[in-house]
């Protein structure tokens, strides 16, 4: 067992609060590390260091800041396997999936190398007689991010890369369940040339989260997690005058039209529903085939694929489709929801509740489960499961199918599989969901577009990464300047106009 640290002012620092939490190996159920939980005083001290370091970093021109990001990308590629192994060890996801976690974060860093272009302002010559108007984007100061366990590399980079590219300092409060990779990322960024104090990692729980929300120096906060906590952070952060973006839960539907290629659909659902043991906010957890014949064909294709899924520890490499869930509590919650689906009358076509892996009996493994004939009033439908469970809800028409997604309280992601362009276009235009896939099961936009849901999946006006990130982490200042060629006598009491 090892003891983790915070990363403050360029060094690993032991916690002083005396409070710790356990970090498990999800495959074995064993405690492998202790994470310190910061006090308010520890958090505030880190913020003070960030505030002292930030002005000098903001004064560095954007091109030179971008060069630090370029070097950071090189180091991420150099240590990709090392980062992925540490991620898998604490999270439980397969090694290839862990590498994808790092790479999707790396891609946002690559996009942020374009900061000099993204930070350009606007200029109007001779807006009025002898008057020029121009704008500039300036850093906020100190920003903070509160990130979840399921993407311990990707989501921190989605937050701190644009914030730092814009000239801010950043305080990262990662999930206490798998904090090693965020600590490694901070080390790598400083190896790339980032000044000490600009990126700091403070591990903690609610006490440190509340300290972030209440600290007067922190100007903006990003959060990804459950909807109840997103609402709490958004409300308290905004009440304290901060700029806040929060991304919450999801219940992502995939509509399957009768004309869809059913083999393509089944393969898409297997990856989107069971990848990472379903612990993705963009996982497809609800499949909605239109018509009973479509549903019967779908179940026939899905059942053998689900039954043949390979489950095991990340050390098994490419021979494993997905691994354990992150904690024993997560496992119990998933199994409880599966039980509730059976009790409510849904058909459990593939039952993974009794899955055991020889040699890993104490691990947090849940076998793949497939439900048919789920209805919208069941808890298995209403709640975000965050486990390897796919529910099939039969719809008798396209309008009924699209209505399920539109009436759901969440609006993170959705997809439709069809060969009909008119149907696909209608779906994309009408659906009240933030990210839409057409024959794409997990429609996560690439780094140069923005990521964000609607309804109770997101709180705030701006999304993650893409152009929105540069808007979120900067303030616009507009300057109106006059350089008169002569002098004008007397005061002018009228409001300025374009004349």
Angle CA 182–224–162, to nearest 5? 60
Question: Could you say which of 112, 246, 281, 369 is catalytic?
Answer: 281
| Residue 110 burial (C-beta neighbours within 10 Å; 0-12, 13-18, 19+) | middle
**Which 3 state secondary structure label does DSSP give 474?**
strand
Residue 358, both tokens = 């020889």
**Which 3 state secondary structure label does DSSP give 226?**
coil
Strand pairing class (252-256; 369-372):
unpaired
Residue 244, both tokens = 């806040």
Residue 200, both tokens = 């700091």
Contact 320, 425 (CB under 8 A): no
Torsions phi, psi of 429, nearest 5? -75, -35
Contact 104, 112 (CB under 8 A): no
> DSSP string of 120-181?
---EEEEEETTEEEEEEEEE-SEEEEE--SS-TTHHHHHHHHHHHHTT-EEEEE--TTS-HH
Whole-angstrom CA distances from 134 to 114, 116, 305, 472, 476 are 21, 17, 59, 20, 10
Q: By C-alpha distance, which of 360, 24, 287, 389 is closest to 176?
A: 24
Annotation says 238 is catalytic: no
**Using the 8-state DSSP alphabet, how is residue 422 labeled?**
H
Residue 85, both tokens = 């192994």
Contact 102, 85 (CB under 8 A): no
Show which residues are catalytic. 281
């Amino acid at each position: 067992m090892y003891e983790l640290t915070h990363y403050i002012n360029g060094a690993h620092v032991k916690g002083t609060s005396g409070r710790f939490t356990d970090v498990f190996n999800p495959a074995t159920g064993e405690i492998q590390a202790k994470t310190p939980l910061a006090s308010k005083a520890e958090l505030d001290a880190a913020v003070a260091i960030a505030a002292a370091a930030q002005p000098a970093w903001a004064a560095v021109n954007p091109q030179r800041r971008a060069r630090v990001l370029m070097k950071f990308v090189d180091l991420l590629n150099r240590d990709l396997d090392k980062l992925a192994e540490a991620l898998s060890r604490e999270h439980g996801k397969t090694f290839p999936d862990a590498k994808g976690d790092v790479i999707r974060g790396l891609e946002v860093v690559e996009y942020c190398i374009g900061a000099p272009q993204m930070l350009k302002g606007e200029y109007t010559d001779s807006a009025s007689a002898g008057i020029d108007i121009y704008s500039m984007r300036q850093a906020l100061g100190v920003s903070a991010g509160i990130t979840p366990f399921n993407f311990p590399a990707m989501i921190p980079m989605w937050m701190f890369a644009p914030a730092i590219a814009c000239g801010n300092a950043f305080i990262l409060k990662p999930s206490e369940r798998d904090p090693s990779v965020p600590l490694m990322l901070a080390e790598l960024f400083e190896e790339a040339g980032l000044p000490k104090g600009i990126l700091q990692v403070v591990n903690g729980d609610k006490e440190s989260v509340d300290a972030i929300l209440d600290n007067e120096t922190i100007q903006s906060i990003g959060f990804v997690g459950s909807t109840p906590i997103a609402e709490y952070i958004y409300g308290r952060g905004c009440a304290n005058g901060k700029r806040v973006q929060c991304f919450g839960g999801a219940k992502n539907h995939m509509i399957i039209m009768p004309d869809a290629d059913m083999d393509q659909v089944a393969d898409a659902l297997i990856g989107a529903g069971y990848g990472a043991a379903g612990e993705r906010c963009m996982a497809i957890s609800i499949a909605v085939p239109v018509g009973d014949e479509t549903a019967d064909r779908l179940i026939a294709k899905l059942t053998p694929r689900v039954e043949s899924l390979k489950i095991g520890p990340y050390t098994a490499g490419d021979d494993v489709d997905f691994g354990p869930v992150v904690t024993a509590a997560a496992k119990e919650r998933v199994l409880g929801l599966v039980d509730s689906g059976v009790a409510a009358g849904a058909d459990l076509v593939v039952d993974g509740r009794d899955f055991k892996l020889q040699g890993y009996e104490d691990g947090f493994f849940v076998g793949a489960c497939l439900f048919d004939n789920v209805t919208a009033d069941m808890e298995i439908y209403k709640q975000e499961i965050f486990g390897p469970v796919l529910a099939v809800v039969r719809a008798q028409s396209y309008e009924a199918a699209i209505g399920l997604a539109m009436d759901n309280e969440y609006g993170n992601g959705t997809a439709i599989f069809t060969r009909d362009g008119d149907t696909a276009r209608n779906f994309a235009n009408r659906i009240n969901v933030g990210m839409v896939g057409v024959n794409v099961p997990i429609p996560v936009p690439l780094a140069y577009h923005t990521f964000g849901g609607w309804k109770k999946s997101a709180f705030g006006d701006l999304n993650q990464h893409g152009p929105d990130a540069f808007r979120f982490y900067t303030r616009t200042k507009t300057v109106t300047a006059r350089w008169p060629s002569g002098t004008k006598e007397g005061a002018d009491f009228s409001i300025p106009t374009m004349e």
